[in-house]
Structure 1
Amino acid sequence: MENNQAKKYKLIKKQLDKVEKKENKVLSKKEIKFIKNKVSPIQEKIESKIPAKLQQTLEKAFETGFKVVFEKGVGLIEKTYKKESKLQDFDVKHYMIMNQMNHKNINELDKGAAKTVRGNQFISTVEGSLLGALGIGIPDIPILIGMILKSIYEISLSYGFDYTTDREKLYILYMICAGVTKEDVQEDYNRKLERIAVGNRMADTLPYSIDNAIKETSTRLAEAMLIAKFIQGIPIVGVVGGVSNFNIIKDITKMARIKYKKRYLEGLLHEK
Protein backbone atom coordinates (compact mmCIF):
# COMPACT_ATOMS: atom_id res chain seq x y z
CA MET A 1 0.00 0.00 0.00
CA GLU A 2 2.79 2.40 0.93
CA ASN A 3 4.58 1.61 -2.30
CA ASN A 4 1.42 2.42 -4.28
CA GLN A 5 1.01 5.74 -2.44
CA ALA A 6 4.65 6.58 -3.12
CA LYS A 7 4.15 5.93 -6.83
CA LYS A 8 1.10 8.20 -6.92
CA TYR A 9 3.00 10.94 -5.07
CA LYS A 10 5.89 10.67 -7.52
CA LEU A 11 3.54 10.81 -10.51
CA ILE A 12 1.74 13.91 -9.21
CA LYS A 13 5.06 15.60 -8.45
CA LYS A 14 6.22 14.88 -11.99
CA GLN A 15 3.06 16.45 -13.38
CA LEU A 16 3.51 19.45 -11.06
CA ASP A 17 7.11 19.91 -12.16
CA LYS A 18 5.95 20.01 -15.78
CA VAL A 19 3.27 22.61 -15.03
CA GLU A 20 5.67 24.72 -12.96
CA LYS A 21 8.17 24.73 -15.83
CA LYS A 22 5.45 26.19 -18.07
CA GLU A 23 4.58 28.67 -15.34
CA ASN A 24 8.20 29.77 -14.92
CA LYS A 25 8.55 30.14 -18.68
CA VAL A 26 5.57 32.52 -18.76
CA LEU A 27 6.71 34.44 -15.68
CA SER A 28 10.32 34.78 -16.87
CA LYS A 29 9.41 35.95 -20.36
CA LYS A 30 11.17 39.22 -21.08
CA GLU A 31 10.12 41.85 -23.53
CA ILE A 32 11.62 41.03 -26.94
CA LYS A 33 14.63 43.26 -27.64
CA PHE A 34 13.34 44.30 -31.08
CA ILE A 35 10.01 45.37 -29.57
CA LYS A 36 11.76 47.20 -26.75
CA ASN A 37 14.12 49.08 -29.07
CA LYS A 38 12.00 49.59 -32.17
CA VAL A 39 8.31 49.14 -31.41
CA SER A 40 8.13 50.69 -27.93
CA PRO A 41 9.23 54.17 -29.11
CA ILE A 42 6.55 54.07 -31.83
CA GLN A 43 4.01 52.93 -29.25
CA GLU A 44 4.98 55.81 -26.97
CA LYS A 45 4.54 58.22 -29.87
CA ILE A 46 1.04 56.91 -30.56
CA GLU A 47 0.18 57.06 -26.85
CA SER A 48 1.20 60.71 -26.75
CA LYS A 49 -1.49 61.45 -29.35
CA ILE A 50 -4.24 59.54 -27.54
CA PRO A 51 -6.70 61.82 -25.68
CA ALA A 52 -5.81 61.94 -21.98
CA LYS A 53 -9.30 60.95 -20.97
CA LEU A 54 -9.34 57.73 -23.02
CA GLN A 55 -7.54 55.61 -20.41
CA GLN A 56 -9.84 56.91 -17.69
CA THR A 57 -12.82 56.12 -19.91
CA LEU A 58 -11.47 52.62 -20.57
CA GLU A 59 -10.79 51.99 -16.89
CA LYS A 60 -14.29 53.08 -15.93
CA ALA A 61 -15.84 50.98 -18.70
CA PHE A 62 -13.95 47.88 -17.56
CA GLU A 63 -14.71 48.56 -13.88
CA THR A 64 -18.43 48.97 -14.55
CA GLY A 65 -18.40 45.92 -16.79
CA PHE A 66 -16.83 43.64 -14.16
CA LYS A 67 -19.23 44.81 -11.45
CA VAL A 68 -22.28 44.26 -13.65
CA VAL A 69 -21.10 40.82 -14.80
CA PHE A 70 -20.25 39.64 -11.28
CA GLU A 71 -23.59 40.90 -9.92
CA LYS A 72 -25.96 40.03 -12.77
CA GLY A 73 -24.14 38.51 -15.72
CA VAL A 74 -22.82 35.13 -14.54
CA GLY A 75 -26.12 33.45 -15.38
CA LEU A 76 -26.05 34.94 -18.88
CA ILE A 77 -22.49 33.71 -19.46
CA GLU A 78 -23.50 30.25 -18.26
CA LYS A 79 -26.15 30.13 -20.99
CA THR A 80 -23.32 30.05 -23.56
CA TYR A 81 -22.05 26.63 -22.45
CA LYS A 82 -23.39 23.49 -20.76
CA LYS A 83 -22.21 23.89 -17.18
CA GLU A 84 -23.71 20.65 -15.88
CA SER A 85 -22.17 18.71 -18.74
CA LYS A 86 -18.74 20.18 -17.96
CA LEU A 87 -19.12 19.36 -14.26
CA GLN A 88 -20.08 15.79 -15.09
CA ASP A 89 -17.15 15.54 -17.49
CA PHE A 90 -14.76 16.63 -14.74
CA ASP A 91 -16.33 14.21 -12.23
CA VAL A 92 -15.82 11.29 -14.62
CA LYS A 93 -12.21 12.25 -15.34
CA HIS A 94 -11.45 12.86 -11.67
CA TYR A 95 -12.96 9.47 -10.79
CA MET A 96 -10.73 7.82 -13.38
CA ILE A 97 -7.68 9.61 -11.97
CA MET A 98 -8.44 8.56 -8.41
CA ASN A 99 -9.03 4.95 -9.42
CA GLN A 100 -6.23 4.65 -11.95
CA MET A 101 -3.71 7.43 -11.53
CA ASN A 102 -1.48 7.80 -14.56
CA HIS A 103 -0.26 10.56 -16.84
CA LYS A 104 -2.80 9.76 -19.54
CA ASN A 105 -5.80 10.16 -17.23
CA ILE A 106 -4.47 13.38 -15.69
CA ASN A 107 -3.76 14.84 -19.12
CA GLU A 108 -7.37 14.13 -20.14
CA LEU A 109 -8.33 17.15 -18.02
CA ASP A 110 -6.45 19.40 -20.45
CA LYS A 111 -8.59 18.51 -23.47
CA GLY A 112 -11.71 20.34 -22.29
CA ALA A 113 -9.70 23.44 -21.43
CA ALA A 114 -7.91 23.42 -24.80
CA LYS A 115 -11.19 23.15 -26.73
CA THR A 116 -12.61 26.06 -24.75
CA VAL A 117 -9.61 28.27 -25.50
CA ARG A 118 -9.72 27.67 -29.27
CA GLY A 119 -13.43 28.44 -29.53
CA ASN A 120 -13.39 31.59 -27.42
CA GLN A 121 -10.31 33.04 -29.11
CA PHE A 122 -12.02 32.69 -32.48
CA ILE A 123 -15.23 34.37 -31.28
CA SER A 124 -13.36 37.27 -29.63
CA THR A 125 -11.31 37.84 -32.80
CA VAL A 126 -14.37 37.98 -35.05
CA GLU A 127 -16.27 40.20 -32.61
CA GLY A 128 -13.36 42.64 -32.25
CA SER A 129 -12.76 42.83 -36.00
CA LEU A 130 -16.41 43.44 -36.88
CA LEU A 131 -16.92 46.12 -34.24
CA GLY A 132 -13.58 47.70 -35.09
CA ALA A 133 -14.40 47.86 -38.80
CA LEU A 134 -17.58 49.72 -37.87
CA GLY A 135 -15.59 52.17 -35.78
CA ILE A 136 -16.91 50.88 -32.45
CA GLY A 137 -14.16 50.81 -29.83
CA ILE A 138 -15.59 51.26 -26.34
CA PRO A 139 -19.05 49.58 -26.56
CA ASP A 140 -17.51 46.13 -27.13
CA ILE A 141 -15.84 46.13 -23.69
CA PRO A 142 -18.76 44.33 -21.93
CA ILE A 143 -18.57 41.69 -24.68
CA LEU A 144 -14.81 41.34 -24.21
CA ILE A 145 -15.21 41.02 -20.42
CA GLY A 146 -17.87 38.39 -21.02
CA MET A 147 -15.52 36.45 -23.33
CA ILE A 148 -12.63 36.68 -20.86
CA LEU A 149 -14.78 35.42 -17.98
CA LYS A 150 -16.48 32.78 -20.13
CA SER A 151 -13.05 31.40 -21.05
CA ILE A 152 -11.84 31.37 -17.44
CA TYR A 153 -15.10 29.88 -16.13
CA GLU A 154 -14.95 27.01 -18.62
CA ILE A 155 -11.29 26.34 -17.83
CA SER A 156 -11.99 26.37 -14.08
CA LEU A 157 -14.79 23.81 -14.58
CA SER A 158 -12.38 21.61 -16.55
CA TYR A 159 -10.25 21.33 -13.40
CA GLY A 160 -13.13 21.16 -10.90
CA PHE A 161 -13.19 24.68 -9.46
CA ASP A 162 -16.27 26.72 -8.51
CA TYR A 163 -15.92 30.25 -9.91
CA THR A 164 -18.91 31.70 -8.01
CA THR A 165 -17.26 32.20 -4.60
CA ASP A 166 -15.82 35.55 -3.55
CA ARG A 167 -12.37 33.99 -3.17
CA GLU A 168 -12.49 32.62 -6.70
CA LYS A 169 -13.67 35.98 -8.08
CA LEU A 170 -10.64 37.56 -6.42
CA TYR A 171 -8.40 34.85 -7.85
CA ILE A 172 -9.81 35.34 -11.35
CA LEU A 173 -9.31 39.12 -11.24
CA TYR A 174 -5.65 38.84 -10.27
CA MET A 175 -5.14 36.04 -12.78
CA ILE A 176 -6.31 38.45 -15.49
CA CYS A 177 -3.81 41.00 -14.17
CA ALA A 178 -1.03 38.41 -14.29
CA GLY A 179 -2.04 37.45 -17.82
CA VAL A 180 -1.72 40.97 -19.27
CA THR A 181 1.40 42.17 -17.43
CA LYS A 182 5.09 41.32 -17.64
CA GLU A 183 8.21 40.93 -15.52
CA ASP A 184 8.18 42.39 -11.97
CA VAL A 185 4.53 43.47 -12.08
CA GLN A 186 3.48 40.01 -13.25
CA GLU A 187 5.57 38.40 -10.51
CA ASP A 188 3.77 40.51 -7.92
CA TYR A 189 0.39 39.31 -9.16
CA ASN A 190 1.64 35.75 -9.19
CA ARG A 191 2.54 36.04 -5.51
CA LYS A 192 -0.98 37.30 -4.82
CA LEU A 193 -2.43 34.32 -6.69
CA GLU A 194 -0.35 31.90 -4.64
CA ARG A 195 -1.51 33.54 -1.42
CA ILE A 196 -5.18 33.34 -2.47
CA ALA A 197 -4.82 29.70 -3.53
CA VAL A 198 -3.18 28.67 -0.24
CA GLY A 199 -5.84 30.56 1.69
CA ASN A 200 -8.51 28.63 -0.20
CA ARG A 201 -7.17 25.37 1.24
CA MET A 202 -6.90 26.87 4.73
CA ALA A 203 -10.34 28.58 4.52
CA ASP A 204 -9.10 31.89 5.94
CA THR A 205 -10.52 35.35 5.23
CA LEU A 206 -9.94 37.09 1.90
CA PRO A 207 -6.44 38.62 1.79
CA TYR A 208 -7.46 41.38 -0.62
CA SER A 209 -10.50 43.53 -1.38
CA ILE A 210 -12.59 42.49 -4.41
CA ASP A 211 -13.47 46.14 -5.14
CA ASN A 212 -9.78 47.07 -5.19
CA ALA A 213 -9.02 44.03 -7.36
CA ILE A 214 -11.69 45.13 -9.86
CA LYS A 215 -10.09 48.59 -10.05
CA GLU A 216 -6.61 47.09 -10.52
CA THR A 217 -7.80 44.68 -13.19
CA SER A 218 -9.60 47.49 -15.02
CA THR A 219 -6.43 49.58 -14.99
CA ARG A 220 -4.27 46.71 -16.28
CA LEU A 221 -6.68 45.87 -19.08
CA ALA A 222 -6.99 49.53 -20.03
CA GLU A 223 -3.20 49.83 -20.19
CA ALA A 224 -2.93 46.64 -22.24
CA MET A 225 -5.57 47.75 -24.75
CA LEU A 226 -5.14 51.52 -24.83
CA ILE A 227 -3.63 51.80 -28.31
CA ALA A 228 -5.77 49.02 -29.73
CA LYS A 229 -8.99 50.63 -28.52
CA PHE A 230 -7.88 54.03 -29.83
CA ILE A 231 -7.25 52.54 -33.27
CA GLN A 232 -10.36 50.37 -32.99
CA GLY A 233 -12.41 53.54 -32.78
CA ILE A 234 -11.26 54.47 -36.29
CA PRO A 235 -13.32 52.81 -39.09
CA ILE A 236 -11.51 50.23 -41.31
CA VAL A 237 -8.22 50.62 -39.43
CA GLY A 238 -10.17 49.28 -36.47
CA VAL A 239 -9.89 45.65 -37.58
CA VAL A 240 -6.81 45.59 -35.34
CA GLY A 241 -9.35 45.15 -32.53
CA GLY A 242 -9.76 41.51 -33.51
CA VAL A 243 -6.03 40.86 -33.16
CA SER A 244 -5.97 42.74 -29.87
CA ASN A 245 -8.86 40.71 -28.45
CA PHE A 246 -7.24 37.47 -29.62
CA ASN A 247 -3.95 38.30 -27.88
CA ILE A 248 -5.66 39.35 -24.67
CA ILE A 249 -7.69 36.13 -24.52
CA LYS A 250 -4.61 34.06 -25.47
CA ASP A 251 -2.42 35.50 -22.71
CA ILE A 252 -5.11 35.22 -20.04
CA THR A 253 -6.20 31.70 -20.92
CA LYS A 254 -2.59 30.49 -21.04
CA MET A 255 -2.20 31.73 -17.48
CA ALA A 256 -5.56 30.23 -16.44
CA ARG A 257 -4.77 26.75 -17.80
CA ILE A 258 -1.44 26.69 -15.98
CA LYS A 259 -2.84 28.00 -12.69
CA TYR A 260 -5.92 25.79 -12.52
CA LYS A 261 -4.05 22.62 -13.40
CA LYS A 262 -1.40 23.47 -10.82
CA ARG A 263 -4.08 23.95 -8.17
CA TYR A 264 -5.76 20.69 -9.12
CA LEU A 265 -2.48 18.79 -8.79
CA GLU A 266 -1.68 20.47 -5.48
CA GLY A 267 -5.14 19.40 -4.32
CA LEU A 268 -4.30 15.80 -5.21
CA LEU A 269 -1.14 16.03 -3.12
CA HIS A 270 -3.11 17.26 -0.11
CA GLU A 271 -5.54 14.36 -0.50
CA LYS A 272 -2.70 11.83 -0.18
Structure 2
Amino acid sequence: MSNLESKQHLESQLETILKWEKEQKDVFFWEKIGRIPFMLLDRLTPKIVRDKVGEALNEVGSFIQSGGKYLVSKKSVMKVLAETEARGIRGLKDSLEAEGVAGNEEEIDNEKGSPEGEVDEVLTLDEASKLPIDVMDTAADGITAKRVKFAAAQGAATGIGGIFTIAADIPLVLGQSLKVLQEMALCYGYDPYDPRERVFIVKCLQFSSADIVGKKAVLEELAAFDDEQNSDQVFSQLQGWREVVTSYTDSFGMKKLFQLIPIAGIVFGSISNKGTIGDVAETGKMLYKKRRINQRLRNME
Protein backbone atom coordinates (compact mmCIF):
# COMPACT_ATOMS: atom_id res chain seq x y z
CA MET A 1 0.00 0.00 0.00
CA SER A 2 2.69 2.45 1.02
CA ASN A 3 4.65 1.59 -2.11
CA LEU A 4 1.95 3.43 -4.07
CA GLU A 5 3.08 6.68 -2.46
CA SER A 6 5.75 8.58 -4.30
CA LYS A 7 8.80 9.98 -2.60
CA GLN A 8 7.71 13.44 -3.71
CA HIS A 9 4.32 13.04 -2.01
CA LEU A 10 5.92 11.90 1.26
CA GLU A 11 8.43 14.75 1.20
CA SER A 12 5.58 17.21 0.60
CA GLN A 13 3.75 15.81 3.66
CA LEU A 14 6.94 16.06 5.70
CA GLU A 15 7.41 19.69 4.69
CA THR A 16 3.91 20.45 6.01
CA ILE A 17 4.80 18.87 9.35
CA LEU A 18 8.06 20.82 9.62
CA LYS A 19 6.14 24.04 8.97
CA TRP A 20 3.70 23.09 11.74
CA GLU A 21 6.60 22.43 14.14
CA LYS A 22 7.97 25.90 13.45
CA GLU A 23 4.59 27.48 14.19
CA GLN A 24 4.34 25.57 17.49
CA LYS A 25 7.43 27.31 18.82
CA ASP A 26 5.62 30.65 18.95
CA VAL A 27 4.31 31.08 22.51
CA PHE A 28 2.76 34.36 23.55
CA PHE A 29 3.85 36.02 26.78
CA TRP A 30 0.29 36.11 28.11
CA GLU A 31 0.20 32.30 28.06
CA LYS A 32 2.98 32.28 30.66
CA ILE A 33 1.17 34.94 32.70
CA GLY A 34 -1.94 32.76 32.49
CA ARG A 35 -0.27 30.09 34.60
CA ILE A 36 -0.20 32.37 37.66
CA PRO A 37 -3.85 31.69 38.64
CA PHE A 38 -2.98 28.01 38.94
CA MET A 39 -0.08 28.72 41.24
CA LEU A 40 -2.49 30.63 43.48
CA LEU A 41 -5.17 27.97 43.08
CA ASP A 42 -2.78 25.32 44.34
CA ARG A 43 -2.33 27.28 47.59
CA LEU A 44 -6.03 27.94 48.10
CA THR A 45 -7.33 24.48 47.21
CA PRO A 46 -8.17 22.26 50.22
CA LYS A 47 -5.62 19.55 50.97
CA ILE A 48 -8.07 16.74 50.23
CA VAL A 49 -8.59 18.05 46.68
CA ARG A 50 -4.83 18.45 46.10
CA ASP A 51 -4.36 14.88 47.27
CA LYS A 52 -6.87 13.62 44.72
CA VAL A 53 -5.08 15.49 41.92
CA GLY A 54 -1.81 13.98 43.16
CA GLU A 55 -3.32 10.51 42.99
CA ALA A 56 -4.35 11.15 39.39
CA LEU A 57 -0.78 12.19 38.53
CA ASN A 58 0.51 8.97 40.07
CA GLU A 59 -1.87 7.04 37.81
CA VAL A 60 -0.28 8.74 34.82
CA GLY A 61 3.06 7.48 36.12
CA SER A 62 1.68 3.95 36.13
CA PHE A 63 0.66 4.50 32.50
CA ILE A 64 4.32 4.76 31.55
CA GLN A 65 5.13 1.56 33.41
CA SER A 66 2.16 -0.63 32.58
CA GLY A 67 -0.47 1.39 30.75
CA GLY A 68 -2.66 1.39 33.84
CA LYS A 69 -6.34 2.03 33.23
CA TYR A 70 -5.68 4.35 30.32
CA LEU A 71 -4.82 1.80 27.63
CA VAL A 72 -7.29 1.96 24.74
CA SER A 73 -8.68 -0.82 22.59
CA LYS A 74 -6.51 -1.61 19.58
CA LYS A 75 -9.40 -3.37 17.86
CA SER A 76 -11.63 -0.29 17.78
CA VAL A 77 -8.99 1.87 16.07
CA MET A 78 -8.00 -0.92 13.67
CA LYS A 79 -11.64 -1.20 12.65
CA VAL A 80 -11.84 2.55 12.01
CA LEU A 81 -8.77 2.24 9.76
CA ALA A 82 -10.27 -0.73 7.91
CA GLU A 83 -13.54 1.14 7.35
CA THR A 84 -11.67 4.22 6.20
CA GLU A 85 -9.75 2.21 3.63
CA ALA A 86 -12.84 0.29 2.49
CA ARG A 87 -15.12 3.29 2.14
CA GLY A 88 -12.52 5.64 0.76
CA ILE A 89 -11.23 8.89 2.22
CA ARG A 90 -13.92 11.10 0.70
CA GLY A 91 -16.67 8.69 1.72
CA LEU A 92 -15.69 8.78 5.39
CA LYS A 93 -15.33 12.55 5.44
CA ASP A 94 -18.83 12.94 3.98
CA SER A 95 -20.16 10.48 6.55
CA LEU A 96 -18.58 12.36 9.46
CA GLU A 97 -20.01 15.65 8.24
CA ALA A 98 -23.47 14.13 7.77
CA GLU A 99 -23.42 12.65 11.26
CA GLY A 100 -22.17 15.90 12.78
CA VAL A 101 -19.34 13.81 14.22
CA ALA A 102 -21.81 12.54 16.80
CA GLY A 103 -20.47 10.30 19.51
CA ASN A 104 -19.17 10.02 23.02
CA GLU A 105 -16.27 8.33 24.72
CA GLU A 106 -18.00 4.95 24.81
CA GLU A 107 -18.63 5.08 21.08
CA ILE A 108 -14.99 5.90 20.45
CA ASP A 109 -13.66 3.06 22.58
CA ASN A 110 -16.16 0.60 21.06
CA GLU A 111 -16.28 1.82 17.48
CA LYS A 112 -18.93 0.03 15.39
CA GLY A 113 -19.11 2.22 12.33
CA SER A 114 -22.16 2.93 10.18
CA PRO A 115 -24.25 0.12 8.65
CA GLU A 116 -23.23 1.12 5.14
CA GLY A 117 -19.51 1.19 5.82
CA GLU A 118 -19.14 -1.53 8.44
CA VAL A 119 -16.53 -4.14 7.67
CA ASP A 120 -16.01 -7.53 9.26
CA GLU A 121 -12.25 -7.49 8.80
CA VAL A 122 -10.08 -5.85 11.43
CA LEU A 123 -6.57 -4.89 10.38
CA THR A 124 -3.47 -6.06 12.21
CA LEU A 125 -1.07 -3.40 13.45
CA ASP A 126 1.44 -4.44 10.78
CA GLU A 127 -1.17 -4.05 8.05
CA ALA A 128 -2.19 -0.68 9.46
CA SER A 129 1.40 0.55 9.34
CA LYS A 130 1.42 -0.04 5.57
CA LEU A 131 -1.72 1.95 4.78
CA PRO A 132 -1.41 5.14 2.70
CA ILE A 133 -0.72 8.24 4.78
CA ASP A 134 -3.94 9.85 3.54
CA VAL A 135 -5.99 6.96 4.96
CA MET A 136 -4.19 7.28 8.30
CA ASP A 137 -4.82 11.04 8.32
CA THR A 138 -8.55 10.65 7.67
CA ALA A 139 -8.99 8.05 10.41
CA ALA A 140 -7.01 10.22 12.84
CA ASP A 141 -9.13 13.28 12.01
CA GLY A 142 -12.37 11.36 12.55
CA ILE A 143 -11.27 10.04 15.94
CA THR A 144 -10.01 13.47 16.98
CA ALA A 145 -13.33 15.10 16.13
CA LYS A 146 -15.17 12.66 18.39
CA ARG A 147 -12.69 13.05 21.24
CA VAL A 148 -12.92 16.85 21.02
CA LYS A 149 -16.71 16.75 21.14
CA PHE A 150 -16.64 14.53 24.21
CA ALA A 151 -14.05 16.77 25.91
CA ALA A 152 -16.25 19.82 25.31
CA ALA A 153 -19.19 18.11 27.02
CA GLN A 154 -16.95 17.02 29.88
CA GLY A 155 -15.61 20.55 30.35
CA ALA A 156 -19.12 21.95 30.48
CA ALA A 157 -20.11 19.42 33.14
CA THR A 158 -17.11 20.11 35.37
CA GLY A 159 -17.45 23.87 34.86
CA ILE A 160 -20.73 24.03 36.76
CA GLY A 161 -19.10 24.41 40.16
CA GLY A 162 -16.26 26.72 39.14
CA ILE A 163 -13.27 26.49 41.47
CA PHE A 164 -14.89 23.63 43.39
CA THR A 165 -14.98 21.26 40.40
CA ILE A 166 -11.98 22.43 38.36
CA ALA A 167 -9.62 20.22 40.37
CA ALA A 168 -11.63 17.20 39.22
CA ASP A 169 -11.50 18.39 35.62
CA ILE A 170 -7.70 18.39 35.36
CA PRO A 171 -7.11 14.64 35.88
CA LEU A 172 -10.04 13.88 33.56
CA VAL A 173 -8.48 15.94 30.79
CA LEU A 174 -5.11 14.29 31.40
CA GLY A 175 -6.74 10.90 30.95
CA GLN A 176 -8.45 12.00 27.75
CA SER A 177 -5.14 13.38 26.47
CA LEU A 178 -3.39 10.06 27.03
CA LYS A 179 -6.18 8.17 25.30
CA VAL A 180 -6.30 10.33 22.21
CA LEU A 181 -2.49 10.16 21.88
CA GLN A 182 -2.68 6.38 21.97
CA GLU A 183 -5.30 6.47 19.24
CA MET A 184 -3.08 8.69 17.12
CA ALA A 185 -0.26 6.17 17.63
CA LEU A 186 -2.48 3.32 16.43
CA CYS A 187 -3.68 5.30 13.41
CA TYR A 188 -0.07 5.52 12.19
CA GLY A 189 0.76 1.90 13.00
CA TYR A 190 2.47 2.23 16.38
CA ASP A 191 1.58 0.14 19.42
CA PRO A 192 0.83 2.00 22.69
CA TYR A 193 0.99 -1.35 24.49
CA ASP A 194 4.74 -1.14 23.89
CA PRO A 195 6.35 0.68 26.87
CA ARG A 196 8.65 2.45 24.44
CA GLU A 197 5.68 4.01 22.66
CA ARG A 198 4.19 5.12 25.97
CA VAL A 199 7.38 7.10 26.50
CA PHE A 200 6.84 8.75 23.10
CA ILE A 201 3.24 9.52 24.07
CA VAL A 202 4.29 11.31 27.27
CA LYS A 203 6.86 13.29 25.27
CA CYS A 204 4.02 14.33 22.93
CA LEU A 205 2.08 15.43 26.02
CA GLN A 206 5.09 17.42 27.14
CA PHE A 207 5.46 19.05 23.72
CA SER A 208 1.83 20.17 23.63
CA SER A 209 2.23 22.17 26.85
CA ALA A 210 5.85 23.32 26.64
CA ASP A 211 7.13 26.82 25.97
CA ILE A 212 9.44 27.72 23.07
CA VAL A 213 12.57 26.31 24.69
CA GLY A 214 10.74 23.18 25.82
CA LYS A 215 9.25 22.46 22.40
CA LYS A 216 12.66 22.76 20.77
CA ALA A 217 14.18 20.39 23.32
CA VAL A 218 11.44 17.79 22.84
CA LEU A 219 11.79 17.89 19.05
CA GLU A 220 15.53 17.35 19.37
CA GLU A 221 14.97 14.39 21.68
CA LEU A 222 12.34 12.80 19.45
CA ALA A 223 14.45 13.27 16.33
CA ALA A 224 16.63 10.43 17.58
CA PHE A 225 13.81 8.36 19.06
CA ASP A 226 13.98 5.61 16.42
CA ASP A 227 17.75 5.47 16.65
CA GLU A 228 18.48 2.58 19.02
CA GLN A 229 21.84 4.09 19.99
CA ASN A 230 20.21 7.29 21.25
CA SER A 231 16.79 6.06 22.40
CA ASP A 232 18.08 5.25 25.91
CA GLN A 233 18.72 8.96 26.41
CA VAL A 234 15.03 9.71 25.84
CA PHE A 235 14.08 7.02 28.37
CA SER A 236 16.40 8.44 31.02
CA GLN A 237 14.91 11.90 30.59
CA LEU A 238 11.56 10.55 31.75
CA GLN A 239 12.87 9.92 35.24
CA GLY A 240 11.23 13.24 36.05
CA TRP A 241 7.94 12.30 34.36
CA ARG A 242 5.96 13.87 37.22
CA GLU A 243 7.38 17.26 36.30
CA VAL A 244 6.23 16.66 32.72
CA VAL A 245 2.64 16.04 33.81
CA THR A 246 2.68 18.83 36.40
CA SER A 247 3.86 21.35 33.81
CA TYR A 248 1.08 20.14 31.52
CA THR A 249 -1.45 20.78 34.30
CA ASP A 250 0.00 24.23 35.01
CA SER A 251 -0.09 25.14 31.32
CA PHE A 252 -3.90 25.23 31.38
CA GLY A 253 -3.41 28.73 32.77
CA MET A 254 -5.41 31.30 30.87
CA LYS A 255 -7.53 28.61 29.21
CA LYS A 256 -8.98 27.67 32.60
CA LEU A 257 -8.99 31.09 34.24
CA PHE A 258 -12.67 31.85 33.58
CA GLN A 259 -13.72 28.32 34.45
CA LEU A 260 -13.13 29.32 38.07
CA ILE A 261 -16.44 31.23 37.93
CA PRO A 262 -19.41 29.00 38.88
CA ILE A 263 -22.04 28.51 36.14
CA ALA A 264 -20.07 30.70 33.69
CA GLY A 265 -17.48 27.95 33.89
CA ILE A 266 -19.81 25.74 31.85
CA VAL A 267 -19.09 27.74 28.69
CA PHE A 268 -15.43 28.36 29.39
CA GLY A 269 -14.85 24.79 30.53
CA SER A 270 -16.30 23.46 27.31
CA ILE A 271 -14.18 25.77 25.16
CA SER A 272 -11.05 25.09 27.20
CA ASN A 273 -11.28 21.29 27.10
CA LYS A 274 -12.17 21.32 23.42
CA GLY A 275 -9.05 23.34 22.65
CA THR A 276 -6.79 21.30 24.93
CA ILE A 277 -7.74 17.91 23.49
CA GLY A 278 -7.64 19.33 19.97
CA ASP A 279 -4.09 20.60 20.51
CA VAL A 280 -2.92 17.33 22.06
CA ALA A 281 -4.47 15.26 19.25
CA GLU A 282 -2.87 17.49 16.61
CA THR A 283 0.52 17.08 18.30
CA GLY A 284 0.16 13.30 18.36
CA LYS A 285 -0.97 13.21 14.74
CA MET A 286 1.89 15.36 13.47
CA LEU A 287 4.68 13.71 15.45
CA TYR A 288 3.57 10.15 14.74
CA LYS A 289 2.95 11.01 11.09
CA LYS A 290 6.45 12.45 10.90
CA ARG A 291 7.93 9.19 12.23
CA ARG A 292 5.97 7.11 9.72
CA ILE A 293 6.94 9.31 6.77
CA ASN A 294 10.62 9.35 7.76
CA GLN A 295 10.58 5.57 8.07
CA ARG A 296 9.12 5.18 4.58
CA LEU A 297 11.60 7.64 3.10
CA ARG A 298 14.47 5.67 4.67
CA ASN A 299 13.09 2.45 3.21
CA MET A 300 12.97 4.05 -0.24
CA GLU A 301 16.65 4.88 0.04
Q: One fold, TM greater than 0.5?
A: yes
Alignment TM class, shorter chain as reference: 0.7 to 0.9
Q: Distance in 1 between matches of 2:296 and 2:39?
A: 50
Q: Distance in 1 between matches of 2:11 and 2:55?
A: 42
Structure 1 residue 106, shift from structure 2 partner:
3.0
Where structure 2 has 5 or more consecutive residues not aligned to the other structure, the ranges are 82-122
Quote the residue 2:41 is aligned against.
50
Quote the residue 2:115 is aligned against.
none
Equivalent AA in structure 2 for residue 63 of structure 1? L
Distance 1:212 1:63, change over 3 A: farther
Q: 1:131 aligns with which of 134, 158, 164?
A: 158
Distance 1:13 1:227, change over 3 A: closer
Q: Distance in 1 between matches of 2:291 and 2:247?
A: 24
Q: Is 1:181 matched up with 2:210? A: yes
Distance 1:182 1:48, change over 3 A: closer
Q: Which has the higher helix share?
A: 1
Structure 1 residue 235, shift from structure 2 partner:
2.6
Q: Please say if residues 59 and 219 of structure 1, whose CA atoms lie closer than 8 Å, have aligned partners that are also in contact.
A: no
Distance 1:250 1:115, change over 3 A: same
Residue deviations 1:42-92 (CA, integer Å, cap 9, x gap): x477457535365x93873552230344543144x329x714424618766
Structure 1 residue 262, shift from structure 2 partner:
0.7
Q: Is 1:269 matched up with 2:297? A: yes
Within-5 A mapping of 1:220-259: 220-226=247-253, 232=259, 234-239=261-266, 240-259=268-287
Equivalent AA in structure 2 for residue 13 of structure 1? E
SS in 2 for 1:196: coil
Q: Distance in 1 between matches of 2:63 and 2:184?
A: 18
Q: Is 1:219 matched up with 2:246? A: yes
Q: 1:121 aligns with which of 143, 148, 157?
A: 148
- Scaled by the length of structure 2, the TM-score of the pair is 0.69
Q: 1:12 aligns with which of 7, 10, 13?
A: 10
Where structure 1 has 5 or more consecutive residues not aligned to the other structure, the ranges are 98-104
Q: 1:110 aligns with which of 110, 114, 137?
A: 137
Q: Please say if residues 65 and 141 of structure 1, whose CA atoms lie closer than 8 Å, have aligned partners that are also in contact.
A: no
Q: Please say if residues 199 and 238 of structure 2, whose CA atoms lie closer than 8 Å, have aligned partners that are also in contact.
A: no
Q: 2:60 aligns with which of 66, 85, 95?
A: 66
Identity of aligned residues (%): 19
Q: Distance in 1 between matches of 2:128 and 2:195?
A: 26
- Scaled by the length of structure 1, the TM-score of the pair is 0.75
Could you say what the CA RMSD is over the residues aligned between the two structures, in angstroms? Answer: 3.5
Q: Please say if residues 159 and 259 of structure 2, whose CA atoms lie closer than 8 Å, have aligned partners that are also in contact.
A: yes
The alignment covers a number of residue pairs equal to 248
